[in-house]
Amino acid sequence: MTLRCLLVDFNSYFASVEQQLCPELRGRPVGVVPMLADTTCCIAASYEAKAFGVKTGTQVAEARRLCPGIVFVVARHAEYVQIHHRAVAVVDTIAPVEQALSIDEMACSLPMGWTSRERATQLALRLKTALREALGECLRVSVGIAPNVFLAKQASNLQKPDGLVVLDSTDLPGPLLRMQLTDLTGINVRMLARLQAQGIHSVEHLWRARREQLRVVWGGMAGEAFYDRLHGLASGVQAANPRRSLGHSHVLPPEMRSAEGALAVLDRLTQKAAMRLRREHLLAGAMTVMLKLTRRHGERLRPERGARFAPTADTRALLHTLRELWPGMVPAGWAPMKVAMLLHDLRQPGQTSASLFEGDVPGSAAEQAALWSAVDALNVRYGRHTIYCGSGHQGREEAPMRIAFNHIPDLETEG
Ligand SMILES: [Mg+2]
């Protein structure tokens, strides 16, 4: 089991960027919010705020109660993206960046000759110094070094902030046993229930489970792949995470908290997502729409609907699906606070056969592709609101650049 992957994870990234850019925020508890409103929640918290129990997702009012001295700043996504690109460039001079896993995480392969524990550690220390010199003292990182991306990610989670942890065969499962199952990448609440149904209640049980058992839990090959990643049998950096979904979410400002407002924003998000699909030469075969609703006494509802369809990157076909899913999603008396749409079942055009049912959308597949590439080119050339489907008109100002979980915004399509 050789060390092959070095993973860099920025600590409290958005809040650290703010502290770097605004020296008056340094050493103070900071909450980064999408807008200044008591009903919104923190999308990031500085280490000083985390010490008071403020986390990503903590409501502003609650954060103020936990930490009376907290300073709220409105997120500046364009800054975060720019610094991300600078960080990638710096890291890349030291270890080749194979994949940016998110805005604040990148996976590198260890160069030849640097795969021993000592040498890899030296490289990580050099990298920390280079990042500090290039970006500033507030931007600290936790580095994980392991045989594959999955283990390197767990290693980077073991020590924060400013961590450096190596995990190889002599260390395993050691420190992993202190973790909860849901701390492991790829184990969400749904997967936890399936593991528990198989008698797997801890990371130790999971470590001792046989490969076939995990195959049963995951319902297929994915279980065996997980077994290999966990035990360090799958090695390298490239194997991880081909893009499996693409989407956007948006916290609605007060004036858009109606069914019509929410739909208009979803319409814009769908148009943006479609443009990204085309830029990445992908087709989507499924869509999920998720809402966060509230009612007078603070009750919450999270409706979610999905549909499958013939793989497409056509904006009109995707908008058509959105409108089929929509009716009844916002029951009377409820106010939408947040909307999200996700395109999944992504594939490359060659992996699919043409749809036999294109009746909804006029023109041949080739004509549609030509139309959308012209639209995309005009929007890149003249700005993002040059041409769009009229159905999204009301929401046009409400889908600015956002940073989703696993997506680095492309300044060209989203700027
Ligand atoms: Mg991070």
Tokens describing residue 302: 């999270």
What residues sit around ligand 1, an ion, with C-beta below 5 angstroms? 9-10, 104
Indicate the length of the chain as a whole number. Answer: 415
Q: Residue 299 sits in a domain of what CATH number?
A: 3.30.1490.100
Can you give the residue range of the structural domain that contains 95? 9-148
Higher-pLDDT residue of 50, 101: 50
Q: Measured in angstroms, how far is the CA atom of residue 167 from the centroid of ligand 1?
A: 19
- Among the candidates 148, 175, 201, a domain finishes at 148
Domain-located, residue 190 = no
Average pLDDT, the chain: 86
Q: Which band of pLDDT confidence, cut at 50, 70 and 90, is reported for residue 184?
A: very high
Q: Which band of pLDDT confidence, cut at 50, 70 and 90, is reported for residue 353?
A: very low
- Among the candidates 101, 127, 148, a domain finishes at 148
Q: Please say whether the beta carbons of 183 and 270 come within 8 A.
A: no
Q: Measured in angstroms, how far is the CA atom of residue 355 from the centroid of ligand 1?
A: 41
Q: Measured in angstroms, how far is the CA atom of residue 156 from the centroid of ligand 1?
A: 9
Interhelix angle 221-230/211-218, rounded to 10 degrees, is 130
Q: Which element (helix H / strand E) includes 211?
A: helix 211-218
DSSP three-state, residue 94:
coil
Q: Measured in angstroms, how far is the CA atom of residue 160 from the centroid of ligand 1?
A: 9
| Residues 271, 376 within the same domain | yes
| Residues 252, 388 within the same domain | yes
Q: Measured in angstroms, how far is the CA atom of residue 146 from the centroid of ligand 1?
A: 18
Q: Which element (helix H / strand E) includes 165?
A: strand 164-166
**295 CB-near residues (< 8 Å, 6+ apart):** 301, 333, 334, 335
Q: Measured in angstroms, how far is the CA atom of residue 142 from the centroid of ligand 1?
A: 8
| Residues 394, 253 within the same domain | yes
Q: Measured in angstroms, how far is the CA atom of residue 12 from the centroid of ligand 1?
A: 6
Q: Measured in angstroms, how far is the CA atom of residue 154 from the centroid of ligand 1?
A: 12
Q: Residue 99 sits in a domain of what CATH number?
A: 3.40.1170.60
Measured distance CA(127)–CA(115) in Å, rounded: 15
| Residues 144, 251 within the same domain | no
| Sheet with 105-109, side-by-side order of all strands | 97-102, 105-109, 5-10, 141-146, 164-166
Domain-located, residue 254 = yes
Q: What is the pLDDT of residues 205-253, one digit of tens each?
A: 999 999 999 999 998 888 988 999 999 987 767 544 455 678 888 999 9
* C-alpha torsion angle, residues 15, 21, 23, 25 (rounded to 10): -30
| Residues 254, 144 within the same domain | no
Q: Measured in angstroms, how far is the CA atom of residue 34 from the centroid of ligand 1?
A: 18
What is the arithmetic mean of pLDDT over 121-127? 97
Q: Measured in angstroms, how far is the CA atom of residue 412 from the centroid of ligand 1?
A: 25
- Among the candidates 116, 133, 148, a domain finishes at 148
Q: Measured in angstroms, how far is the CA atom of residue 153 from the centroid of ligand 1?
A: 10
Q: Measured in angstroms, how far is the CA atom of residue 60 from the centroid of ligand 1?
A: 21
What is the arithmetic mean of pLDDT over 21-30? 97
HSE-up of 10 (CA within 13 Å, CB side)? Answer: 29
Q: Measured in angstroms, how far is the CA atom of residue 61 from the centroid of ligand 1?
A: 24
Domain-located, residue 229 = no
Q: Please say whether the beta carbons of 57 and 41 come within 8 A.
A: yes
Q: Measured in angstroms, how far is the CA atom of residue 378 from the centroid of ligand 1?
A: 35
Measured distance CA(166)–CA(364) in Å, rounded: 54
Measured distance CA(173)–CA(155) in Å, rounded: 11
Domain-located, residue 235 = no
What percentage of the chain has pLDDT greater than the value 90? 60
Q: Measured in angstroms, how far is the CA atom of residue 246 from the centroid of ligand 1?
A: 20
Domain-located, residue 161 = no
Q: What is the pLDDT of residues 303-333, one digit of tens each?
A: 988 888 888 999 999 999 999 999 999 999 9
Residues 358-379: b if buried by 16+ CB within 10 A, e if exposed = beebeeeeeebeeebeebbeeb
Domain-located, residue 209 = no
Q: How many domains are contained in the chain?
A: 2
Q: Measured in angstroms, how far is the CA atom of residue 141 from the centroid of ligand 1?
A: 8
Domain-located, residue 211 = no
What is the arithmetic mean of pLDDT over 173-194? 93
Q: What is the pLDDT of residue 345?
A: 79
